[in-house]
A = this chain, B = another copy of it.
Amino acid sequence: MAEELKVLRTWSSPFGLRVVYALKMKGLEYETILEDIKNKSDLLLEYNPVYKRIPVLVHNGKPICESLVILEYIDDTWKQCPLLPQHPYDKAMARFWAKFGDEKVFPSLKSALISQGKEQEECVATAIGNLKCIEELLKGKKFFGGDTIGYLDLAFGWMANIISIMEEIADIKFLNAEIFPLISEWINNFSAHPMIKEFWPPRDRMIEKLTAMREPYLKKVA
Protein backbone atom coordinates (compact mmCIF):
# COMPACT_ATOMS: atom_id res chain seq x y z
CA MET A 1 0.00 0.00 0.00
CA ALA A 2 1.27 3.46 -0.90
CA GLU A 3 1.98 5.49 2.21
CA GLU A 4 0.13 8.78 2.47
CA LEU A 5 1.87 11.23 4.75
CA LYS A 6 0.78 14.77 5.54
CA VAL A 7 2.35 17.22 7.95
CA LEU A 8 0.32 20.08 9.38
CA ARG A 9 2.75 22.73 10.57
CA THR A 10 3.53 26.44 10.37
CA TRP A 11 6.45 27.89 8.40
CA SER A 12 8.28 28.80 11.62
CA SER A 13 7.46 26.33 14.39
CA PRO A 14 10.50 24.36 15.59
CA PHE A 15 8.09 21.68 16.79
CA GLY A 16 6.79 21.29 13.25
CA LEU A 17 10.34 21.19 11.92
CA ARG A 18 11.14 18.24 14.16
CA VAL A 19 8.64 16.20 12.18
CA VAL A 20 9.88 17.44 8.80
CA TYR A 21 13.48 16.55 9.68
CA ALA A 22 12.53 13.11 10.98
CA LEU A 23 10.63 12.27 7.78
CA LYS A 24 13.53 13.56 5.69
CA MET A 25 16.02 11.46 7.65
CA LYS A 26 13.90 8.40 6.99
CA GLY A 27 13.75 9.30 3.29
CA LEU A 28 9.96 9.57 3.29
CA GLU A 29 7.86 11.70 0.96
CA TYR A 30 5.10 13.78 2.49
CA GLU A 31 2.73 16.62 1.77
CA THR A 32 3.04 19.85 3.75
CA ILE A 33 -0.09 21.66 4.90
CA LEU A 34 0.89 25.08 6.20
CA GLU A 35 -1.33 26.36 8.97
CA ASP A 36 -1.97 29.90 10.12
CA ILE A 37 -2.21 29.70 13.90
CA LYS A 38 -4.36 32.82 14.01
CA ASN A 39 -6.87 31.18 11.72
CA LYS A 40 -6.71 27.44 12.29
CA SER A 41 -8.06 25.18 9.58
CA ASP A 42 -10.98 22.83 10.11
CA LEU A 43 -8.57 20.04 9.32
CA LEU A 44 -6.29 20.97 12.24
CA LEU A 45 -9.25 21.23 14.63
CA GLU A 46 -10.50 17.85 13.42
CA TYR A 47 -7.13 16.14 13.72
CA ASN A 48 -6.09 17.68 17.03
CA PRO A 49 -9.29 18.52 18.92
CA VAL A 50 -7.51 18.24 22.28
CA TYR A 51 -4.71 20.78 21.85
CA LYS A 52 -5.78 22.38 18.56
CA ARG A 53 -2.13 22.91 17.65
CA ILE A 54 0.50 21.87 15.16
CA PRO A 55 2.33 19.72 14.35
CA VAL A 56 0.09 16.88 13.29
CA LEU A 57 1.36 13.97 11.23
CA VAL A 58 -1.38 12.25 9.27
CA HIS A 59 -0.42 8.75 8.18
CA ASN A 60 -2.88 7.04 5.87
CA GLY A 61 -5.66 9.21 7.31
CA LYS A 62 -4.76 8.69 10.97
CA PRO A 63 -3.54 11.72 12.93
CA ILE A 64 -0.69 11.69 15.45
CA CYS A 65 -0.15 14.80 17.60
CA GLU A 66 2.58 16.17 19.88
CA SER A 67 5.96 16.43 18.21
CA LEU A 68 7.93 14.10 20.50
CA VAL A 69 5.19 11.48 20.24
CA ILE A 70 5.33 11.88 16.46
CA LEU A 71 9.11 11.36 16.41
CA GLU A 72 8.70 8.11 18.31
CA TYR A 73 5.92 7.04 15.95
CA ILE A 74 8.08 7.70 12.92
CA ASP A 75 10.95 5.77 14.48
CA ASP A 76 8.67 2.86 15.47
CA THR A 77 7.10 2.68 12.01
CA TRP A 78 10.12 3.10 9.70
CA LYS A 79 13.19 1.30 10.94
CA GLN A 80 15.79 2.79 8.55
CA CYS A 81 18.14 5.45 10.02
CA PRO A 82 17.07 5.01 13.67
CA LEU A 83 16.42 8.25 15.50
CA LEU A 84 16.42 6.97 19.06
CA PRO A 85 19.40 5.10 20.49
CA GLN A 86 19.02 1.32 20.55
CA HIS A 87 19.92 0.53 24.16
CA PRO A 88 17.03 0.99 26.62
CA TYR A 89 19.12 3.11 28.99
CA ASP A 90 20.31 5.46 26.24
CA LYS A 91 16.77 5.62 24.97
CA ALA A 92 15.52 6.58 28.44
CA MET A 93 18.17 9.30 28.68
CA ALA A 94 17.18 10.71 25.28
CA ARG A 95 13.52 10.79 26.35
CA PHE A 96 14.40 12.37 29.71
CA TRP A 97 16.43 15.19 28.14
CA ALA A 98 13.93 15.84 25.35
CA LYS A 99 11.25 16.28 28.02
CA PHE A 100 13.58 18.53 30.02
CA GLY A 101 14.18 20.61 26.89
CA ASP A 102 10.47 21.16 26.31
CA GLU A 103 9.45 21.59 29.94
CA LYS A 104 12.36 23.57 31.32
CA VAL A 105 14.88 24.87 28.79
CA PHE A 106 12.59 26.29 26.12
CA PRO A 107 10.21 27.97 28.64
CA SER A 108 13.14 29.45 30.57
CA LEU A 109 14.54 31.11 27.44
CA LYS A 110 11.10 32.32 26.44
CA SER A 111 10.59 33.87 29.90
CA ALA A 112 13.86 35.76 29.50
CA LEU A 113 12.77 37.02 26.08
CA ILE A 114 9.48 38.46 27.33
CA SER A 115 10.69 39.92 30.63
CA GLN A 116 12.73 43.00 31.51
CA GLY A 117 15.12 44.43 34.10
CA LYS A 118 15.73 42.47 37.29
CA GLU A 119 13.19 39.81 36.34
CA GLN A 120 14.92 39.29 33.02
CA GLU A 121 18.31 38.91 34.70
CA GLU A 122 16.88 36.14 36.87
CA CYS A 123 15.28 34.44 33.87
CA VAL A 124 18.55 34.57 31.94
CA ALA A 125 20.38 33.03 34.91
CA THR A 126 17.83 30.20 35.07
CA ALA A 127 18.09 29.63 31.33
CA ILE A 128 21.89 29.49 31.50
CA GLY A 129 21.66 26.98 34.35
CA ASN A 130 19.43 24.80 32.19
CA LEU A 131 21.68 25.13 29.18
CA LYS A 132 24.64 23.97 31.30
CA CYS A 133 22.90 20.61 31.75
CA ILE A 134 22.60 20.37 27.96
CA GLU A 135 26.25 21.33 27.45
CA GLU A 136 27.27 18.33 29.59
CA LEU A 137 25.43 15.95 27.28
CA LEU A 138 27.66 16.85 24.33
CA LYS A 139 30.94 15.85 25.98
CA GLY A 140 32.85 13.68 23.53
CA LYS A 141 30.12 13.88 20.90
CA LYS A 142 29.52 15.78 17.68
CA PHE A 143 25.74 15.45 17.91
CA PHE A 144 23.48 14.53 20.81
CA GLY A 145 22.84 11.35 18.85
CA GLY A 146 26.60 10.65 18.63
CA ASP A 147 28.24 10.83 15.20
CA THR A 148 24.97 11.58 13.44
CA ILE A 149 21.82 13.58 14.05
CA GLY A 150 19.27 11.68 16.15
CA TYR A 151 16.08 12.12 18.15
CA LEU A 152 17.62 14.44 20.73
CA ASP A 153 19.19 16.65 18.05
CA LEU A 154 15.76 17.07 16.50
CA ALA A 155 14.24 17.72 19.93
CA PHE A 156 16.87 20.43 20.58
CA GLY A 157 16.75 21.77 17.02
CA TRP A 158 14.99 24.95 18.21
CA MET A 159 18.21 25.93 20.04
CA ALA A 160 20.13 26.16 16.77
CA ASN A 161 17.37 28.16 15.14
CA ILE A 162 16.11 30.47 17.86
CA ILE A 163 18.67 31.24 20.58
CA SER A 164 20.72 33.76 18.62
CA ILE A 165 17.52 35.46 17.43
CA MET A 166 16.27 35.77 21.02
CA GLU A 167 19.65 37.19 22.02
CA GLU A 168 19.53 39.80 19.26
CA ILE A 169 15.96 40.91 19.90
CA ALA A 170 16.21 41.22 23.68
CA ASP A 171 19.87 42.27 23.80
CA ILE A 172 20.74 39.42 26.18
CA LYS A 173 23.34 36.65 26.08
CA PHE A 174 22.51 33.02 26.75
CA LEU A 175 25.33 31.28 24.95
CA ASN A 176 28.75 32.67 25.69
CA ALA A 177 30.96 30.52 23.47
CA GLU A 178 33.58 30.21 26.23
CA ILE A 179 31.07 28.78 28.68
CA PHE A 180 29.21 26.78 26.03
CA PRO A 181 31.81 25.62 23.51
CA LEU A 182 30.02 22.35 22.82
CA ILE A 183 26.53 23.76 22.22
CA SER A 184 28.09 26.51 20.08
CA GLU A 185 29.90 23.92 17.98
CA TRP A 186 26.77 21.76 17.81
CA ILE A 187 24.72 24.73 16.54
CA ASN A 188 27.25 25.15 13.71
CA ASN A 189 27.26 21.45 12.85
CA PHE A 190 23.51 21.04 13.07
CA SER A 191 22.56 24.10 11.08
CA ALA A 192 25.19 23.39 8.42
CA HIS A 193 23.66 19.97 7.68
CA PRO A 194 22.16 20.14 4.16
CA MET A 195 18.91 18.48 5.23
CA ILE A 196 18.45 20.89 8.12
CA LYS A 197 19.45 23.95 6.08
CA GLU A 198 16.86 23.16 3.43
CA PHE A 199 14.00 23.96 5.81
CA TRP A 200 15.62 26.67 7.90
CA PRO A 201 13.10 29.50 8.47
CA PRO A 202 14.46 32.81 7.10
CA ARG A 203 16.18 34.78 9.88
CA ASP A 204 14.54 38.11 9.03
CA ARG A 205 11.04 36.65 9.18
CA MET A 206 11.89 34.88 12.47
CA ILE A 207 13.13 38.16 13.96
CA GLU A 208 9.90 39.82 12.88
CA LYS A 209 7.81 37.02 14.33
CA LEU A 210 9.55 36.85 17.71
CA THR A 211 9.64 40.64 18.01
CA ALA A 212 5.87 40.75 17.46
CA MET A 213 5.41 37.90 19.95
CA ARG A 214 7.39 39.86 22.55
CA GLU A 215 5.63 43.19 22.00
CA PRO A 216 2.49 42.71 24.16
CA TYR A 217 4.57 41.71 27.20
CA LEU A 218 6.67 44.88 27.00
CA LYS A 219 3.56 47.04 26.71
CA LYS A 220 2.09 45.38 29.78
CA VAL A 221 5.02 46.61 31.88
CA ALA A 222 5.33 50.08 30.32
- What is the chain B residue whose CB lies nearest that of A74? B88
Residues of B within 8 Å of A70, CB to CB, are: 92
Looking at the complex, which one of B69, B88, B100, B133 makes contact with A99 (CB distance below 8 Å)?
B69
A96 touches B (CB below 8 Å): yes
Residues of B within 8 Å of A72, CB to CB, are: 91-92, 95
Segment from A59-67, A114-122, A142-150, A180-188 that makes contact with B = A59-67
- CB A87 to nearest CB in B, in angstroms, measures 9
- What is the chain B residue whose CB lies nearest that of A130? B50
Interface string of A83-96 (1 = CB under 8 A from B): 00000110110011
Which of A's residues lie within 8 Å of B, judged by CB? 50, 59, 62, 64-66, 69-70, 72-73, 76-77, 88-89, 91-92, 95-96, 99-100, 133
How many copies make up the complex? 2
Contact indicator A96/B69 (Cβ below 8 Å): yes
Distance A99 CA – B96 CA, assembled complex (angstroms): 13
Distance A212 CA – B94 CA, assembled complex (angstroms): 36
Contact indicator B69/A95 (Cβ below 8 Å): yes
Residues of B within 8 Å of A59, CB to CB, are: 89
7 new A-B contacts at CB < 8 Å, known A64-B96, A66-B95, A72-B91: A50-B100, A62-B89, A64-B92, A66-B99, A73-B92, A76-B88, A76-B91
Residues of B within 8 Å of A96, CB to CB, are: 64-66, 69
Distance A66 CA – B96 CA, assembled complex (angstroms): 7
Cβ contacts A to B, 22 pairs, < 8 Å: A50-B100, A50-B133, A62-B89, A64-B89, A64-B92, A64-B96, A65-B96, A66-B99, A69-B92, A69-B95, A69-B96, A69-B99, A70-B92, A72-B91, A72-B92, A73-B89, A73-B91, A73-B92, A76-B88, A76-B91, A76-B92, A77-B88
